[in-house]
Amino acid sequence: MKFGIDAGGTLIKIVKEENGERTFSKYLSTEVETVAELLQQYPDAEVALTGGKATYLQSLIPQDAFQSIEFDATFKGIQTFLEQLNHPLENYIFTNVGTGTSIHHVKGEVQERAGGTGAGGGMIQGLGYLLTGEADYETLTALAAKGDRDDIDLKVKHIYKGDKTPIPGELTAANFGRVLHTKETVQYTDADKLAAAIGAVGETVTTVSIHAAREFGAEYVVYIGSSFLSNELLKKVVMNYTVLRGFKPYFIENGEYSGALGTLKLM
Ligand code: ADP
């Protein structure tokens, strides 16, 4: 039995392989002791770790675990998923939208970090809480799905008011930039505020990603990370914005387990 574990800032992702079968599970990072108890039940299992809390988890478990660098593990996991999906890519960007966002360029068998942004899943949770007082992740994302950010965000077309625009009118000119224009007539709901926060995160993540894609001449941006879980709105924003900016988005099913799968495969 083999375990690949990515102990991240918010979530611990676990891939278990046994008799050719692969299963996925996740825990909150605050539940690291629970994960250690699980591993204590299988002292003979082979264990591979990665992520910021890997060394701490190692101190709690009986196995002498293999450890790999998070970026190498994630890359290996993505390559494994892409092979299995029969969707090999030669020159691409991958963007891991976790607690924060990390952006990487891949050419052949080599990956290098191309940048990142503090806009990511942690910002959705933190800003979401500040705007609405809601701390439960599933409640927050379900509420955001009902929101509308049309009266909150300023689009290019709003500035040009029917005139010919030099760039597509549907592009956001200023996230939250329409509020002072609409505040007298509009009641913003918690759902609307959350939708606008997710819009800002999604558009920031996409903008940084496509700049990297342009710099490296890549056509595809592969998006992974737990921030897309139960958050169709974020996925939609990122997908549409990537297409609008002229690139091809690709989402991998179970992609948030890339680090966990990758460290297992590197073992
Ligand atoms: P990390 O490796 O930094 O923990 P992840 O890829 O696991 O990053 O993504 C963490 C983000 O996933 C959170 O910031 C949040 O937006 C989102 N998320 C998805 N499911 C949950 C959940 N059940 N509880 C908390 N956050 C979740």
User: Over the stretch 17-47, which tens digit does the pLDDT of each residue have?
Assistant: 999 999 999 999 999 999 999 999 999 999 9
Asked if the structure places residue 14 within a domain, the reply is: yes
Could you tell me which residues are beta bridge partners of residue 48? 4, 66
Asked if the structure places residue 109 within a domain, the reply is: no
Q: Pick left, alpha or beta for residue 230 (phi over 0 → left; psi -120 to 50 → alpha; otherwise beta).
A: left
| Domain match, 156 and 234 both | yes
99 CA → ligand 1 middle, Å: 6
Asked if the structure places residue 54 within a domain, the reply is: yes
Q: Between vectors from CA 119 to CA 141 and to CA 254, what angle results, nearest 5°?
A: 55
| Domain match, 129 and 178 both | yes
| Domain match, 227 and 239 both | yes
| Domain match, 226 and 261 both | no
Stretch 184-208: mean pLDDT, rounded?
A: 98
Closest residue by CA, ligand 1 atom 5? 98
CATH number of the structural domain spanning residue 53: 3.30.420.40
Asked if the structure places residue 35 within a domain, the reply is: yes
Pocket residue to mutate for ligand 1, from 27, 53, 95, 137, most atoms within 8 A of Cβ: 137
| Domain match, 145 and 247 both | yes
| Domain match, 120 and 249 both | yes
Q: Between vectors from CA 45 to CA 48 and to CA 261, what angle results, nearest 5°?
A: 35
Asked if the structure places residue 234 within a domain, the reply is: yes
123 CA → ligand 1 middle, Å: 11
10 CA → ligand 1 middle, Å: 5
Asked if the structure places residue 212 within a domain, the reply is: yes
User: Is 70 part of the annotated catalytic residue set?
Assistant: yes
Could you tell me which residues are beta bridge partners of residue 18? 21
Domain region containing 153: 116-253
| Domain match, 177 and 236 both | yes
User: Over the stretch 138-177, which tens digit does the pLDDT of each residue have?
Assistant: 999 999 999 999 999 999 999 998 899 999 898 999 999 9
Does this complex have an ipTM over 0.90? yes
User: Over the stretch 70-113, which tens digit does the pLDDT of each residue have?
Assistant: 999 999 999 999 999 999 999 999 999 999 999 999 999 999 99
The helix (run of H) or strand (run of E) holding residue 154 is strand 154-155
**DSSP secondary structure letter of residue 221:** E
The helix (run of H) or strand (run of E) holding residue 49 is strand 46-50
| Domain match, 261 and 235 both | no
| Domain match, 131 and 239 both | yes
| Domain match, 203 and 152 both | yes
pLDDT at 6: 98
Query: Which is catalytic among the residues 70, 134, 203, 253?
Result: 70
Closest residue by CA, ligand 1 atom 23? 137
Q: How many domains does the chain have?
A: 2
Asked if the structure places residue 76 within a domain, the reply is: no
| Domain match, 9 and 121 both | no
pLDDT at 82: 98
**Size of the chain, expressed as the number of residues it contains:** 267
Asked if the structure places residue 23 within a domain, the reply is: yes
| Domain match, 120 and 195 both | yes
